[in-house]
């Protein structure tokens, strides 16, 4: 294919040909073939979204969405044009035909999102969700990194996909926390099914909790009707102190440095989200620690009294 040939094709695809150039383009021997490609493209339809029934399939689906690439065949002029059209159609259907909605929260921020079926999701600080709106009512699937509280309307199966497992429900209220080495699900209403990345299956009824911490599985109960962080208070039940500190950093947008304290004891207690001094007192006094607020963005916790 010579340079003039390519020039005409590119302008034709962009609908930029002058009347004289259009006549030259129609004179090309492959003109009818190019028209056939475009006519076929008009009938192109995106495949219907399908349910994924296990964590492995959901995880594979997420991976394929991130890593898939179109490999054009450039050796044949006809295929070069077909590749341009197929790529353009792929971009159109992935971006416009099945749009993905993403929501992020910053430090010391909570956000409530209404999903297409009127289900509600409240994100805790520094969390991320994403979901597709097309065919939502028959394929309710949302990807989560961080912590969120879900109030799900009854309907088809509702999946919350995380890197550590999938939480499935029909209509209920529950929370999911997936950060670092912690994966925790609390059921406040209805029934929740949890499938871990190791394909371990757990069914939680109202008041039950399920936790994986550093590979260890724990089950417990809760008397709360909703997560306490919805009321601007973080609460911890026998969690490593480093997890408490990480949440403190998220809620206040600060950097915490720990000095002369190498242990990582289990902590039970909580702190408020609206007063840094009170929060620091709540997490340091039970462990006989002290602290200094260096600036609005920096705090040091000491393993001994200064």
**How many domains does the chain fold into?**
3
C-alpha to C-alpha distance for 215 and 200, rounded to whole angstroms: 12
Is the model's pLDDT at 108 over the cut of 80? yes
Quote the tokens at residue 126. 């520094």
Residue 73: its pLDDT value, please? 42
C-alpha to C-alpha distance for 17 and 44, rounded to whole angstroms: 25
Angle between helices 3-13 and 77-92 (to 10 degrees): 20
Under the banding of pLDDT at 50, 70 and 90, the label for residue 36 is low
Residue 197: its pLDDT value, please? 94
Neighbours of 134 (CB within 10 A): 14
Q: Where are the beta strands (DSSP E) in 69-207?
A: 100-104, 111-114, 120-123, 128-132, 140-151, 158-161, 165-169, 173-179, 182-189, 191-196, 201-205
Query: Does 143 lie in the same domain as 89?
Result: no
Give me the CATH number covering residue 221. 2.60.120.1440
Residue 288's domain comprises 232-302
Is the model's pLDDT at 99 over the cut of 90? no
Is the model's pLDDT at 32 over the cut of 90? no
Residue 69: its pLDDT value, please? 45
C-alpha to C-alpha distance for 249 and 299, rounded to whole angstroms: 9
Q: State the burial class of residue 129 (Cβ atoms within 10 Å of its Cβ: 0-12, 13-18, 19+).
A: buried
Query: Does 223 lie in the same domain as 109?
Result: yes
C-alpha to C-alpha distance for 187 and 178, rounded to whole angstroms: 15
If you compute the radius of gyration of the chain from its CA atoms, what whole number of angstroms results?
Answer: 27
Helices (H), the chain: 3-13, 19-26, 31-42, 55-67, 77-92, 241-252, 276-284
C-alpha to C-alpha distance for 280 and 258, rounded to whole angstroms: 13
Between 3 and 213, the higher pLDDT residue:
213
pLDDT mean across residues, the chain? 83
75, 97, 119 - which closes a domain: 97
Q: Buried b / exposed e across 46-82, counting CB within 10 Å, b at 16+?
A: eeeeeebeebeebbeebeeeeeeeeeeeeeeeeeebb
Determine what percent of the chain is predicted with pLDDT higher than 70: 72
What's the number of CA atoms in the CB half-sphere (13 Å) around residue 75?
A: 1
Give the tens place of pLDDT for each residue, 291-300: 999 999 999 9
Query: Does 215 lie in the same domain as 111?
Result: yes
Measured CA distances, 18 to 22, 24, 29 (Å):
6, 10, 19
Q: What is the DSSP letter of 240?
A: E
Query: Does 88 lie in the same domain as 198?
Result: no
Give the tens place of pLDDT for each residue, 186-230: 999 999 999 999 999 999 999 999 999 999 999 999 999 999 999
CA dihedral sign, ordered 86, 87, 88, 92: positive
Q: What long-range pairs does 292-298 form, CB within 8 A, spacing at least 24?
A: 296/254, 297/253, 297/254, 297/255, 298/254, 298/255, 298/257
86-90, 146-150, 252-256, range with the lowest pLDDT: 86-90
Query: Does 207 lie in the same domain as 105?
Result: yes
Query: Does 257 lie in the same domain as 212?
Result: no
Query: Does 185 lie in the same domain as 73?
Result: no
Under the banding of pLDDT at 50, 70 and 90, the label for residue 263 is confident
Residue 139: its pLDDT value, please? 93
- Give the pairing of strands 120-123 and 140-151: antiparallel
Residue 34: its pLDDT value, please? 67
Query: Does 87 lie in the same domain as 104?
Result: no
196, 227, 258 - which closes a domain: 227
Q: Measuring CA to CA, which residue among 208, 306, 199, 295 is closest to residue 253?
A: 295
Give the tens place of pLDDT for each residue, 144-180: 999 999 999 999 999 999 999 999 999 999 999 999 8
Query: Does 180 lie in the same domain as 169?
Result: yes
Between 63 and 253, the higher pLDDT residue:
253
Read off the pTM. 0.70
Is the model's pLDDT at 39 over the cut of 90? no
Under the banding of pLDDT at 50, 70 and 90, the label for residue 22 is confident
Query: Does 91 lie in the same domain as 169?
Result: no
Query: What is the residue whose two structure tokens read 């129609």?
Result: 26
74-88, 108-122, 157-171, 198-212, range with the lowest pLDDT: 74-88
Residue 236: its pLDDT value, please? 96
177, 211, 227 - which closes a domain: 227
Q: State the burial class of residue 152 (Cβ atoms within 10 Å of its Cβ: 0-12, 13-18, 19+).
A: buried
Query: Does 138 lie in the same domain as 48?
Result: no
Query: Does 207 lie in the same domain as 114?
Result: yes
Give me the CATH number covering residue 291. 3.55.50.30
Q: Buried b / exposed e across 106-118, counting CB within 10 Å, b at 16+?
A: eeeebbeeebeee
């Amino acid at each position: 294919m010579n340079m003039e040939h390519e020039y005409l094709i590119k302008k034709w695809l962009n609908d930029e040909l002058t009347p004289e150039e259009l006549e030259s383009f129609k004179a090309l021997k492959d003109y009818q073939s190019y028209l056939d490609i475009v006519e076929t493209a008009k009938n192109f339809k995106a495949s219907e979204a399908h349910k994924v029934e296990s964590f492995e399939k959901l995880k594979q689906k997420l991976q394929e969405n991130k890593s898939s690439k179109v490999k054009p065949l450039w050796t044949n002029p006809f295929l070069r044009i077909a590749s341009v059209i197929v790529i353009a159609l792929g971009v159109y259907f992935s971006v416009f035909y099945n749009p993905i909605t993403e929501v992020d929260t910053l430090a010391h921020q909570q956000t409530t999102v209404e999903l297409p079926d009127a289900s509600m999701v409240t994100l805790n600080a520094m969390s991320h969700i994403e979901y597709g709106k097309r065919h939502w009512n028959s394929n309710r699937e949302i990807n989560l990194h961080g912590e969120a509280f879900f109030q799900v309307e009854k309907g088809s199966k509702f999946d919350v996909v995380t890197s550590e497992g999938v939480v499935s429900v029909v209509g209920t209220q529950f929370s999911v926390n997936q950060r670092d080495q912690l994966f925790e699900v609390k059921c406040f209403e209805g029934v929740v099914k949890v499938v871990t990345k190791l394909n371990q299956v757990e069914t939680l009824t109202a008041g039950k909790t399920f936790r994986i911490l550093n590979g260890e599985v724990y089950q417990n109960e809760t008397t709360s009707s909703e997560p306490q962080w919805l009321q601007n208070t973080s609460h911890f039940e026998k969690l490593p102190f480093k997890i408490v500190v990480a949440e403190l950093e998220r809620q206040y947008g600060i950097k915490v440095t720990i000095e002369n304290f190498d242990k990582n004891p289990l902590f039970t207690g909580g702190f408020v989200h609206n007063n840094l001094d009170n929060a620091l007192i709540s997490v340091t006094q039970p462990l006989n620690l002290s602290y200094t607020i260096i600036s609005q963005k920096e705090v040091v916790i000491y393993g001994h009294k200064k």
